[in-house]
Structure 1
Amino acid sequence: MKFAYRFSNLLGTVYRCGNLNFTCDGNSVISPVGNRVTVFDLKNNKSDTLPLATRYNIKCVGLSPDGRLAIIVDEGGNALLVSLVCRSVLHHFHFKGSVHSVSFSPDGRKFVVTKGNIAQLYHAPGRKREFNAFVLDKTYFGPYDETTCIDWTDDSRCFVVGSKDMSTWVFGAERWDNLIYYALGGHKDAIVACFFESSSLDLYTLSQDGALCVWQCDTPPEGLRLKAPTGWRADLLQREDENEDGDEDEDGEREATVRGKAAPAAEEQQGKVKYSRLAKYFFNKEGDFNNLTAAAYHKTTHLLVTGFASGIFHLHELPEFNLIHSLSISDQRIASVSINSSGDWIAFGCSGLGQLLVWEWQSESYVLKQQGHFNSMVSLAYSPDGQYIVTGGDDGKVKVWNTLSGFCFITFTEHSSGVTGVTFTATGYVIVTSSMDGTVRAFDLHRYRNFRTFTSPRPTQFSCVAVDSSGEIVSAGAQDSFEIFIWSMQTGRLLDVLSGHEGPISGLCFNPMKSVLASASWDRTVRLWDMADSWRTTETLALTSDALAVTFRPDGAELAVATLNSQITFWDPENAVQTGSIEGRHDLKTGRKELDKITAKHSAKGKAFTTLCYSADGQSILAGGMSKFVCIYHIKEQILRKKFEISCNLSLDAMEEFLNRRKMTEFGNLALIDQDAGEEAGVAIPLPGVKKGDMSSRHFKPEIRVTSLRFSPTGRCWAATTTEGLLIYSLDAQMLFDPFELDTSVTPGRVRAALRQRDFTRAILMAFRLNEKKLLQEALESVPWDEIDVVSSSLPELYVEKVLEFLASSFEASHHLEFYLIWTQKLLMAHGQKLKSRAGTLLPAVQFLQKSIQRHLDDVSKLCDWNRYSIQYALAVSKQRGMKRPSEPLGSEEEAGASDDNDDDDDDSLHLLGGGHGGEDEDGLLA
């Protein structure tokens, strides 16, 4: 139960590929991120990743009209039917081919899937339990090339399909007599989007070369006639007519209306549905490569949004084709566009940079603007209170993420090369980063600026960074000169250069309790440097292989080192004695790359753990590396406690242990043959030891790996920077029954009986032994506020930690702030002295409590400041109005002087609030 960590959220990437969707209320955007789906709640400013994953990267998402169901299809044709209400997978299905788009009918009864050059109509699953969720109704043929887009009429009678063969096909969703299919031409490039007009069969089609065709239909939707049944269907209907009773059920009524419409249809013999082109418009082309790439249409407001390969988007009003707005929002291709139900917000996805933008076009402002790291993330660090995570990437950017909302709120771009290490100082308001550009920079989270830049006398590449517990000493290790540089945070001066290592520095870590720095190097040693005693080397720890990572236990009494031979060794830093080791080669279980000439078993010999992190209590260690697994080990017992598979995405390389047999031919592996490369050599085989792959190759598949791991200071969650993004795993205690010292006498009934007898202490103890959240809440909130002092002092010491943990988790959701604050204060006042002896084990619970209280403090303080400024403004306005009234004659010079003084005071107060005269104190106002 202690290590029941589950996938909680995905940060660091906001959009990868696929189509964007707004929920039916228009307040949230559903964005595919790799093989996962993230929901961005724009009203409450939160992001949440669904706890499900497909086997490959997601290609398209179809959302039902009521917003309850979603069909998620990946690149391999595997589909998941997902309930967005309970956030779980209801059904798995394989479409046996690459699917281009999915769209539900407006009535929610059917959905169309386009794959290859065909369209398939399926019955959509309803709320009733069904044997088969996806039942194929019809398959529509017509286009000669791949299909690209779908749109439905408002009454779900017809749908239109666009194709790469420059044609658009209108199909009837039922067996209509006057419309089976209708093909439309008129374009000179692949169709990007096609839309029906509201309550009409009129069409708009858009092609890649920036052409818009307006099509008019000579038949209204009500003019579609059902085809009269023939053969065995007609005989069946006739028999039903003879046998039916007076009371018809719903299906009988529908069949009667069908027959009623079909009968006169044969008599009227009206003509077939015909389309005529009313107009053809062209978008302004600003270059040869400015292709139209995505479009969306809002039928109620007649608003057309088009995105182009240059990152420009246009807003037009149809059918007159009036340009409303044109703006460049990115320098990359716009891959997907979506409009919410009210037509106010437009979502844009740019797959090249991983951008997600939501634009309010009427006020011309951003509702959401997020972008992940362009290349892979390399390092991360938690703030001391656990509220923020800072990440550094190969793109040279440093981003700070809010763990509660999941959004990035500041990006620092001062580094000109890849960031190799990030860390927070003990205060939590300064971030220190190292980079390959030869600088170590300190960033201020109060003013969001780079206030210190540390450099070395000779240009060098820094591979790691560390800051001591006081925040005064900054150290960084060099990759090329094998030296460690020490700077003062206060002055920014270089204090010393530590020499002695004979290989690149791979890791640095300060002892949390003493001024001792541990440095790991590829020269098979870990050196301990005393910062207080003239920077001398106190100990040199000899290892059996190259050191890749080093970290201290939170109490500073133990040191863990990861080496190249897949071992984790533990040392006593005081006596320089090895206390234990863990062999991790079998737990890494690396996969085989597509282009590897050797098997996964032999490939694993070169893999190792590259990042380590102690748990908050120091009893376990988290390890990750060149593998899709993250392992938690028990240090004392030296056993594997749990192993997490961070990804199941086969779109990444090195995921499978064995190669796909379908790709193995008599000529060798098909993955080694590049059909598109015009050279005889084919695919270039990557060199041994290359971690990141060749980004310039045509078929680049990023390799799965874990670059950095950190436990939250609260101990409730841990984060990992991986090829997919920043994954957060947290304890989901609500779904687990985890009792504590339970016996048969403890029941919910006994707890409530004790509460009725006002025996609050016994009720709380029994509730904590059952460990059910609702019962705990009921027991604690039943205590009157004036008796909290007595009850908290009578609690045994063993239960104090559990009460503190519960209070911390309650702060995140409860509105009873003052009540729970009184509980916290009384508990700490009553048991503070006793708890000092167990400070190490209690630290995570206290930090969790601090994080929750700090978040409320930030929210309430903003509200209080806003109220205070509003009151000051109201007072100033009322004084200003009072001054404008005609004043009474003053009796004496003293009164006149007093009134003048008052007027001056009023003027000052108005100046401070921005309502003064003339601008004489403009600088003061701006300050």
Structure 2
Amino acid sequence: MKFAYRFSNLLGTVYRCGNLNFTHDGNSVISPVGNRVTVFDLKNNRSNTLPLATKYNIKCVGLSPDGRLAIIVDEGGAALLVSLVCRSVLHHFHFKGSVHSVSFSPDGRKFVVTKGNIAQMYHAPGKKREFNAFVLDKTYFGPYDETTCIDWTDDSKCFVVGSKDMSTWVFGAERWDNLIYYALSGHKDAIVACFFESNSLDLYSLSQDGALCVWQCDTPPEGLRLKAPRGWKADILQREKEEEEEDEEEGDRETTIRGKTTPAEQERVGKVKYSRLAKYFLNKEGDFNNLTSAAYHKKTHLLVTGFASGIFHLHELPEFNLIHSLSISDQRVASVAINSSGDWIAFGCSGMGQLLVWEWQSESYVLKQQGHFNSMVALAYSPDGQYIVTGGDDGKVKVWNTLSGFCFVTLTEHSSGVTGVTFTTTGHVIVTSSLDGTVRAFDLHRYRNFRTFTSPRPTQFSCVAVDSSGEIVSAGAQDSFEIFVWSMQTGRLLDVLSGHEGPVSGLCFNPMKSILASASWDKTVRLWDMFDSWRTKETLTLTSDALAVTFRPDGAELAVATLNSQITFWDPRMLYRWAPIRGRHDLKTGRKELDKITAKHSAKGKAFTTLCYSADGQSILAGGMSKFVCLYHVREQILVKRFELSCNLSLDAMEEFLNRRNMTEFGNLALIDQDAGEENGVAVPLPGVRKGDMSSRHFKPEIRVTSLRFSPTGRCWAATSTEGLLIFSLDAQMLFDPFELDTSVTPGRIREALRQREFTRAILMAFRLNEKKLAQEALEAVPQNEIEVVSTSLPELYVVKVLEFLAASFEESRHLEFYLIWTQKLLMSHGQRLKSRAGQLLPVVQFLQKGLQRHLDDVSKLCDWNRFNIQYVLAVSKQRGMKRTLEPVDTEEDSDASDEDSLHLLRAAGEEEEEEMLI
């Protein structure tokens, strides 16, 4: 099994904090999610998280005008220059302070960064051939408080900066003679946003109290003139001018040298002046509904404003006509963005983790996504690997599509936190357990709760499991230490299994038999036989409290995680126990901000809380109260690889050692500063409180891994953590991994064998070289009528590799029928011999099933639509024919009219069917 798993995607969290951006074409939204960036492709219905991460949560993102580069700045001031084309980091930089906003000029030559009460202008990277990508050009002073926003003129000559000192400052990007800086005042609260009008120096400024000021400039952008240089710069320019005149030998010309103007022009053009034309008020509900964000589209003159109550307004400027006023959330609108065409508006609500894209003309949602309000605690893969279901502390159950990365259904029937989720073997039913005392079964066809399982007396369920047949549902209780068993068909309580003397922490059914394994805090794991009077079959005694239990996919091995950071393996048939894996040092837990002990001592109380076998059963994943996930080889009992889920220092328990900068003469600054009135005050939690006080002003969630699952295909695995739902998949793009390679296998000889029509030899050499494009070329060169002969002549070892390649090709290739023929011929000719390796081939078969099922869902809808349309056409034509026999048509016009009527009815029926499919 290969272990080249790399971070692939981040689901479950769509927006955390920072500013939203639309791409240059307006079809994608760039959303900062913690210390990562996710790109939501609205046109192709995909979401991708860039394979990069900052040290802290992202504060702001600046996008270049051409959409190729992005500057990502985190809360600590560290910046990443990212190429959105190749999705890689080009340069690292640190601005030495907290950055509030960053904005590129429209011509792409410069960008401005605001930090503290200053604005710094840098040369844009890539426009000049230089070693340093970030070259400081000028520093602008003026505001007395922190700066908040930036906007540029269309010609990149000036930019405006808003500040918390209730003033707006206009600066020149060049050394203009008639505009150095201009301060505008007239607001009574901090400036939230400021915007220039299109092709003008007129601007709008908005403050936090909802006031909008319209400012008019008496000078057009063409009226700005460059300041004449003095000293040695003037001498150099004069010398260059004389040399140009001597070379060109032209007549006398009136040439302006870098802003040198004649005295007549200086008298004609005066200083730039601003005057306030009007002042409007957006907030009609009082001081409690502050303006939090705004965006302005210059071409359509559309102003979008978001408020703390979740309401947003759409106004047309400069007349200030109200277009829409809607409420999208009960939390503050943290960020607003408009795409290039002005049709789509993106809203980000950090309190609920919502991301909305709204089309204001049709008043409909283009995208509406929301993650779990609290942390996710459980996840499960569907049997075909297409979907992932997650449950959170907020009581919601969400189903995610692994291909698109979007949540397509949210189930809200639970009234308390969800503790466990699982799929049945058919993949059409989701079973969940909750602390509200219910176990619910949901139908994925109709998206409804069709079964609710309850106990005779109120209890809190901590885990849930369903047997391989899907007929028996069991759940473990936290308070009564019992296991409840129900029938899926009738919903009746079949039995209550007693015997544990502590809370039940985990349940798992044997995939091959109806044997239930239950782990408890009473240091035992009990095996229950579901067909033998519900009695305890065996009791496995452990050395510490059991936290998690899982069976190997073939049911021949049982793994248990205990409180002493060990993973114990048992043979459930012979009750044989192997030597345990001791993973205390592999966890590498971090030191929390308020800990008075070192990370090494705090690791003594940490353990693995979730386990998961790989698809082939040779390895096991383990995670817990740490940012690391450990992958162990079961037989060798060695640590194969350790995956770091997050490097975000904005989370707690991330650093191994104490930061000396936070140490004062009185001790740790986090323990001293307990002032709740300050914005950055740290509140010391009560003993035993692990999730923190959500009502406190300062909250740092602790990094932890709550659940791990391998995909049935074995190509990826998922983990629910404080950061969200992280997907790790096999990275085979830049991996050179040949198989039985020798000097006779070269790309030239493969193509030569194809020219000689030796297809079997060419396929064998291509898969020995293990190059994807060569294997595709060799397979697609085989004629369709010779596929059966070639597939029969392939050795058994290479049949598995060809099946893996076909399964991967189903996800991206358009040659569906061709690869289906290959798959059918291989399975028909080698199916009997492959039965002996059914356990090893199970991930490959499930990978094939995943691709085929996705195509089946897409093609079946199209076929059904065509079939119903054809039936409708036949019925209409038959009805018309009967009418013609009863009432013969006299003229050709009547027949033409009847044909037009049938075509019109067919077109109308097709449009209705298409609307139903879209809905």
Question: 1:130: Cα distance to partner?
Answer: 2.7
Question: 1:504: Cα distance to partner?
Answer: 0.3
- Cα distance in 1 for partners of 2:801, 2:118 equals 60
| CA pair 199-685 structure 1, distance change in 2 beyond 3 A | closer
Q: Matches of residues 182-193 of structure 1 in structure 2 within 5 Å?
A: 182-193=182-193
Q: Matches of residues 554-593 of structure 1 in structure 2 within 5 Å?
A: 554-593=553-592
Partner of 1:55: 55
Partner of 2:73: 73
Q: Are the aligned partners of 1:357 and 1:366 in contact in 2 as well (CA < 8 Å)? A: yes
Q: Matches of residues 281-680 of structure 1 in structure 2 within 5 Å?
A: 281-674=280-673, 676-677=675-676
1:684-723 deviation line (CA, Å, top 9, x unaligned):
5445554322223322100000000000000000000000
- Cα distance in 2 for partners of 1:496, 1:245 equals 102
| CA pair 637-867 structure 1, distance change in 2 beyond 3 A | same
| CA pair 874-289 structure 1, distance change in 2 beyond 3 A | farther
Q: Are the aligned partners of 2:471 and 2:489 in contact in 1 as well (CA < 8 Å)? A: yes
Q: Are the aligned partners of 2:83 and 2:89 in contact in 1 as well (CA < 8 Å)? A: yes
SS state of the match for residue 719, structure 2? strand
1:297-354 deviation line (CA, Å, top 9, x unaligned):
1100111111111111111110000111111111110000000000000000000000
Q: Matches of residues 6-21 of structure 1 in structure 2 within 5 Å?
A: 6-21=6-21
- Cα distance in 2 for partners of 1:299, 1:379 equals 46
SS state of the match for residue 537, structure 2? strand
Q: Which one-letter code corresponds to 1:534 in the other structure?
A: S
Question: 1:859: Cα distance to partner?
Answer: 1.2
Partner of 1:713: 712
Once structures 1 and 2 are overlaid, which stretch shifts more, 686-695 or 271-280? 686-695
Q: Matches of residues 684-699 of structure 1 in structure 2 within 5 Å?
A: 685-686=684-685, 690-699=689-698
1:767-810 deviation line (CA, Å, top 9, x unaligned):
00000000000000000010000000100000111100000111
Q: Report the TM-score, using the length of structure 1 for normalisation.
A: 0.94
Q: Are the aligned partners of 2:869 and 2:910 in contact in 1 as well (CA < 8 Å)? A: no
Question: 1:258: Cα distance to partner?
Answer: 4.5
SS state of the match for residue 760, structure 2? helix
1:733-769 deviation line (CA, Å, top 9, x unaligned):
1210011111111111111111111110110000000
- Cα distance in 2 for partners of 1:889, 1:308 equals 69
Question: 1:673: Cα distance to partner?
Answer: 2.4
Q: Are the aligned partners of 2:227 and 2:259 in contact in 1 as well (CA < 8 Å)? A: no
Q: Which one-letter code corresponds to 2:8 in the other structure?
A: S
- Cα distance in 2 for partners of 1:149, 1:333 equals 18
SS state of the match for residue 812, structure 1? coil
- Cα distance in 1 for partners of 2:886, 2:183 equals 83
Pairwise CA RMSD: 2.2
Q: Matches of residues 825-904 of structure 1 in structure 2 within 5 Å?
A: 825-872=824-871, 888=887
SS state of the match for residue 735, structure 1? coil
Question: 1:872: Cα distance to partner?
Answer: 4.9
Q: Are the aligned partners of 1:338 and 1:347 in contact in 2 as well (CA < 8 Å)? A: yes
Question: 1:104: Cα distance to partner?
Answer: 0.1
| Unaligned 5+ runs, structure 1 | 249-254, 891-905, 917-927
Question: 1:732: Cα distance to partner?
Answer: 1.5
Partner of 1:820: 819
Q: Which one-letter code corresponds to 1:497 in the other structure?
A: V
In the alignment, is residue 152 of structure 1 matched against residue 152 of structure 2? yes
1:799-839 deviation line (CA, Å, top 9, x unaligned):
11110000011111110000000000000000000000000
Q: Are the aligned partners of 1:435 and 1:463 in contact in 2 as well (CA < 8 Å)? A: yes
Q: Are the aligned partners of 2:591 and 2:654 in contact in 1 as well (CA < 8 Å)? A: yes
Partner of 1:802: 801
Q: Are the aligned partners of 1:559 and 1:571 in contact in 2 as well (CA < 8 Å)? A: yes
| Unaligned 5+ runs, structure 2 | 249-253, 890-901, 913-919
- Cα distance in 1 for partners of 2:883, 2:278 equals 63
Q: Are the aligned partners of 1:19 and 1:32 in contact in 2 as well (CA < 8 Å)? A: yes
- Cα distance in 2 for partners of 1:817, 1:247 equals 68
SS state of the match for residue 428, structure 1? coil
Q: Which one-letter code corresponds to 1:118 in the other structure?
A: I
Q: Are the aligned partners of 2:437 and 2:460 in contact in 1 as well (CA < 8 Å)? A: yes
In the alignment, is residue 28 of structure 1 matched against residue 63 of structure 2? no
Q: Are the aligned partners of 1:571 and 1:580 in contact in 2 as well (CA < 8 Å)? A: no
Q: Which one-letter code corresponds to 2:216 in the other structure?
A: Q
Question: 1:581: Cα distance to partner?
Answer: 1.1
- Cα distance in 2 for partners of 1:885, 1:210 equals 71
Question: 1:885: Cα distance to partner?
Answer: 8.3
Q: Are the aligned partners of 1:117 and 1:143 in contact in 2 as well (CA < 8 Å)? A: yes
Q: Are the aligned partners of 1:51 and 1:87 in contact in 2 as well (CA < 8 Å)? A: yes
Q: Are the aligned partners of 2:475 and 2:484 in contact in 1 as well (CA < 8 Å)? A: yes
1:98-122 deviation line (CA, Å, top 9, x unaligned):
0000000000000000001100000
SS state of the match for residue 565, structure 1? coil
Question: 1:870: Cα distance to partner?
Answer: 4.3
Partner of 1:2: 2
Q: Are the aligned partners of 2:283 and 2:290 in contact in 1 as well (CA < 8 Å)? A: no
SS state of the match for residue 486, structure 2? strand
Partner of 1:902: none
How many residue pairs match? The answer is 892
| CA pair 212-76 structure 1, distance change in 2 beyond 3 A | same
Once structures 1 and 2 are overlaid, which stretch shifts more, 828-837 or 126-135? 126-135
Partner of 2:161: 161
Q: Are the aligned partners of 1:876 and 1:913 in contact in 2 as well (CA < 8 Å)? A: no
Question: 1:217: Cα distance to partner?
Answer: 0.4
SS state of the match for residue 578, structure 2? strand
| CA pair 265-774 structure 1, distance change in 2 beyond 3 A | farther
Question: 1:866: Cα distance to partner?
Answer: 3.0
Partner of 2:176: 176
Partner of 1:82: 82
1:367-391 deviation line (CA, Å, top 9, x unaligned):
0000000000000000000000000
- Cα distance in 2 for partners of 1:882, 1:70 equals 65
- Cα distance in 2 for partners of 1:364, 1:884 equals 45
Q: Are the aligned partners of 2:482 and 2:499 in contact in 1 as well (CA < 8 Å)? A: yes
Q: Are the aligned partners of 1:710 and 1:719 in contact in 2 as well (CA < 8 Å)? A: yes
Q: Are the aligned partners of 2:675 and 2:683 in contact in 1 as well (CA < 8 Å)? A: no
Q: Are the aligned partners of 1:228 and 1:263 in contact in 2 as well (CA < 8 Å)? A: no
Partner of 1:897: none
| CA pair 294-267 structure 1, distance change in 2 beyond 3 A | closer
Q: Which one-letter code corresponds to 1:857 in the other structure?
A: L
Q: Which one-letter code corresponds to 2:726 in the other structure?
A: L
| CA pair 539-171 structure 1, distance change in 2 beyond 3 A | same
Question: 1:265: Cα distance to partner?
Answer: 7.2
Q: Which one-letter code corresponds to 1:597 in the other structure?
A: K
Q: Report the TM-score, using the length of structure 2 for normalisation.
A: 0.94
Q: Are the aligned partners of 1:719 and 1:729 in contact in 2 as well (CA < 8 Å)? A: yes
| CA pair 499-764 structure 1, distance change in 2 beyond 3 A | same
| CA pair 642-265 structure 1, distance change in 2 beyond 3 A | farther
- Cα distance in 2 for partners of 1:212, 1:154 equals 21
Question: 1:247: Cα distance to partner?
Answer: 7.4
- Cα distance in 1 for partners of 2:367, 2:690 equals 34
Partner of 2:722: 723
Q: Which one-letter code corresponds to 1:309 in the other structure?
A: A
- Cα distance in 1 for partners of 2:467, 2:776 equals 40
* Identical aligned residues as a percent: 89
- Cα distance in 2 for partners of 1:881, 1:18 equals 63
| CA pair 95-752 structure 1, distance change in 2 beyond 3 A | same
Q: Are the aligned partners of 2:621 and 2:629 in contact in 1 as well (CA < 8 Å)? A: yes
Question: 1:260: Cα distance to partner?
Answer: 6.1
Partner of 2:194: 194
Partner of 1:251: none
Q: Which one-letter code corresponds to 2:6 in the other structure?
A: R
Question: 1:658: Cα distance to partner?
Answer: 0.7
SS state of the match for residue 259, structure 1? coil
Q: Are the aligned partners of 2:674 and 2:683 in contact in 1 as well (CA < 8 Å)? A: no
